[in-house]
């Protein structure tokens, strides 16, 4: 049967206590719904239809993709009502796979095996056995083990609450039959909602086959209703990321203190210390070492680069054997050719730095081109901003800049030039010459330090 994936994402998520629609809460730096959409795409369905409602504009704006169909559920009257809104747009001969926008960890493999196990025209249910089933709808079976219905926890008897087999919220149903069934369900329950789960009892009454398939990993089925569950899901998600990296030969000092909010490509024998956060697209070459508490976004680090503790790196392209930090801040638009050293309390922005150059302490380099084998002393500042416009600084190969130098841009320092410490350079510093800009030192003989008055 042709397949439509229907994602329920209209609910507010009251238990999140948030101004943000629940399905836009982030997991691994992306909205919950984005993970579910990825999973839906992996199934190769004919159509993906999202039921939206609460925070409608924001939710739709977060997914501009052309392959998605949208169904507005203006009033959220329950999961059954949500599905009913979408059915007119779904061809009657399709199977409908219902996914919840708040269950982002379900693996495509579990859904594929559910779809395979369900005979044509039957109803399929993804279930799970949980150590703590509280909060979920329970799967009720008769003495012979046949599914007879689903009961929500709030509507369950104390006996039913003891059942540990839960409804994950994932179901596959024939569209035509589903449309008829949804017309028959009511809202006579503790929440006054139209429950999708009530169609199961209807199927039983009609002797329609119900195929239950258990999720291979119970951690997949976590539905996120509150912040505690969001945090649990985040750890499960990050543990999966960590596992993938372990399989690729990465050492993580502690997989529980590792956060990937994007995509990380790694070479061989990479080491990542505790508390590192990776965002966007990051590529690490062979043997890269990432120190503790580094934040690395949208960057490429070549083989054997070392990032020491507490660095914030965004948009860096570094060749091999560079050494960064501790406490360095690299802002977008920086290129290090190779073996560049940038030390503590150094900020670099929109600059190229040549091979072997060193900027070791307390320095700002912005809008600059720095040649190879340059040494920039502590406390140097490229003064790139005149209050209205930005200007460039160019520094030739083998330049030595002493400590405490102001390079007032636009300015050029020629190859092999030396700049004396404490100079404020406003004009070109010629190649191979010493440029010095300082007032003459004087010493006052017999000068007495003031003493404290009593
Ligand atoms: C639902 C199931 C429960 C199951 C659990 C799995 C029902 C009645 N209950 O409970 O059996 O164990 O999921 O996590 O189906 N939504 C809409 N429109 C609505 C109501 C909900 O789109 O009118 C969406 C929500 O945005 C959410 C999903 O449907 O993504 C599930 O709704 P939620 O209120 O979280 O249901 P649960 O109480 O978790
Ligand atoms: Ca839920």
In CATH, what number is assigned to the domain containing residue 98? Answer: 3.90.550.10
370 found inside a domain: yes
Whether 125 and 270 map to the same domain: the answer is no
Give the Cα separation of 347 and 8 in Å (integer): 46
Instruction: Extract the runs of DSSP E, i.e. beta strands, from 132-191.
Output: 138-141, 147-151, 165-174
Whether 139 and 15 map to the same domain: the answer is yes
The set of protein residues with a Cβ atom below 6 angstroms from ligand 1 is 8-11, 51, 73, 76-79, 81-82, 100-103, 136-137, 150, 152, 166-169, 195-197, 223, 225
241 found inside a domain: no
Whether 54 and 116 map to the same domain: the answer is yes
Q: How far is CA 290 from the centre of its chain?
A: 19
Domain assignment of residue 381, given as a range? 250-435
Q: Which of the 8 DSSP states describes residue 440? A: P
Give the Cα separation of 437 and 429 in Å (integer): 11
State the CATH number of the domain containing residue 389: 2.160.10.10
244 found inside a domain: no
- Residue range 36-54: mean pLDDT, rounded: 97
242 found inside a domain: no
Residue 216 confidence class, pLDDT cut points 50, 70, 90: confident
Whether 197 and 271 map to the same domain: the answer is no
pLDDT digits (tens, 9 = 90+) for 63-94: 999 999 999 999 999 999 999 999 999 999 99
What pLDDT is stored for residue 190 in this prediction?
96
Whether 348 and 288 map to the same domain: the answer is yes
pLDDT digits (tens, 9 = 90+) for 333-342: 999 999 999 9
- Residue range 101-105: mean pLDDT, rounded: 98
239 found inside a domain: no
- In 10 A of CB 447, how many CB atoms? 6
Known catalytic residue at 361 = yes
Packed helices 79-86 and 175-184: angle between N→C axes, nearest 10 degrees: 130
226 found inside a domain: no
Whether 256 and 197 map to the same domain: the answer is no
382 found inside a domain: yes
* Percentage of the residues of the chain whose pLDDT score is greater than 70: 100
Give the Cα separation of 286 and 289 in Å (integer): 9
Do residues 169 and 59 touch, judged by C-beta distance below 8 A?
A: no
Peptide bond before 376: cis, by omega within 30 degrees of 0? no
Report the nearest-CA residue for atom 31 of ligand 1. Answer: 100
Nearest to 127 by CA among 47, 215, 197: 215
Q: Ligand 1, from 79, 168, 182, 232: best to mutate by most atoms within 8 Å of Cβ? A: 79
169 found inside a domain: yes
Whether 292 and 187 map to the same domain: the answer is no
Regarding pTM above 0.75, the answer is: yes
Residue 379 pLDDT more than 90? yes
Give the Cα separation of 400 and 277 in Å (integer): 35
- Residue range 427-432: mean pLDDT, rounded: 98
Residue 161 confidence class, pLDDT cut points 50, 70, 90: very high
What is the overall mean pLDDT for the chain?
Answer: 97
Do residues 311 and 329 touch, judged by C-beta distance below 8 A?
A: yes
Whether 183 and 35 map to the same domain: the answer is yes
- Ligand 2 center to residue 14 CA distance, Å? 11
Q: Which of the 8 DSSP states describes residue 174? A: E
Atom of ligand 1 nearest to the CA of 10: 22
Q: What are the tokens at 327?
A: 């406490």
Do residues 124 and 211 touch, judged by C-beta distance below 8 A?
A: yes
Looking at the DSSP bridge assignments, the partners of residue 383 are 408
pLDDT digits (tens, 9 = 90+) for 283-306: 999 999 999 999 999 999 999 999
Domain count, the chain: 2
Whether 178 and 270 map to the same domain: the answer is no
Whether 136 and 271 map to the same domain: the answer is no
Whether 93 and 210 map to the same domain: the answer is yes
Whether 260 and 407 map to the same domain: the answer is yes
- Residue range 156-178: mean pLDDT, rounded: 97
Residue 253 confidence class, pLDDT cut points 50, 70, 90: very high
* Percentage of the residues of the chain whose pLDDT score is greater than 90: 99
Peptide bond before 410: cis, by omega within 30 degrees of 0? yes
Residue 365 pLDDT more than 90? yes
């Amino acid at each position: 049967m042709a397949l439509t994936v229907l994602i329920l994402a209209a609910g507010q998520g009251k238990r999140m206590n948030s101004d943000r629609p629940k399905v836009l809460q982030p997991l691994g730096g992306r909205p919950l719904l984005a993970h579910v959409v990825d999973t839906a795409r992996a199934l190769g369905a004919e159509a993906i239809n999202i039921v939206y409602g609460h925070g409608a504009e924001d939710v739709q704006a977060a997914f501009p993709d052309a392959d998605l169909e949208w169904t507005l559920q203006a009033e959220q009257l329950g999961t059954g009502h949500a599905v009913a809104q979408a059915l007119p747009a779904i061809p009657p001969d399709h199977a409908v796979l219902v996914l919840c926008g708040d269950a982002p960890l379900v693996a495509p493999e579990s859904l594929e095996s559910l779809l395979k196990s369900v005979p044509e025209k039957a109803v399929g249910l993804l279930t799970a056995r949980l150590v703590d089933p509280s909060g979920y709808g329970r799967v009720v079976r008769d003495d012979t083990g046949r599914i007879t219905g689903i009961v929500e926890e709030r509507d369950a008897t104390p006996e039913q609450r003891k059942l540990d087999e839960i409804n994950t919220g994932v179901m596959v149903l024939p569209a035509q039959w589903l449309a008829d069934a949804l017309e028959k369900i009511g809202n006579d329950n503790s929440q006054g909602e139209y429950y999708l789960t009530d169609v199961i009892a209807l199927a039983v009454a009609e002797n329609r086959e119900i195929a239950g398939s258990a999720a291979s990993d119970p951690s997949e089925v976590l539905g996120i209703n509150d912040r505690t569950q969001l945090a649990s899901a985040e750890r499960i998600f990050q543990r999966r990321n960590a596992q993938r990296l372990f399989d690729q030969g990465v050492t993580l000092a502690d997989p529980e203190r590792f956060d990937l909010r994007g995509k990380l490509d790694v070479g061989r024998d990479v080491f990542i210390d505790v508390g590192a956060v990776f965002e966007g697209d990051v590529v690490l070459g062979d043997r890269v070492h990432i120190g503790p508490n580094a934040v690395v976004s949208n960057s490429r680090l070549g083989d054997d680069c070392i990032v020491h503790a507490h660095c914030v790196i965004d948009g860096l392209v570094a060749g091999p054997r560079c050494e960064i930090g501790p406490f360095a801040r690299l802002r977008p638009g920086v290129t290090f050719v190779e073996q560049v050293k940038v030390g503590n309390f150094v900020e670099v922005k929109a600059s190229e730095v040549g091979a072997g150059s060193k900027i070791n302490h307390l320095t700002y380099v912005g809008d600059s081109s720095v040649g190879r084998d340059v040494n920039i002393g502590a406390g140097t500042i490229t003064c790139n901003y005149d209050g209205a416009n930005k200007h460039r600084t160019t520094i030739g190969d083998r330049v030595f800049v002493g400590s405490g130098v102001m390079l007032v841009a636009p300015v050029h320092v020629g190859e092999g030039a030396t700049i004396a410490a404490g100079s404020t350079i406003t004009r070109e510093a010629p190649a191979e010459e010493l440029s010095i800009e300082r007032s003459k030192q004087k010493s006052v003989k017999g000068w007495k330090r003031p003493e404290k008055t009593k």
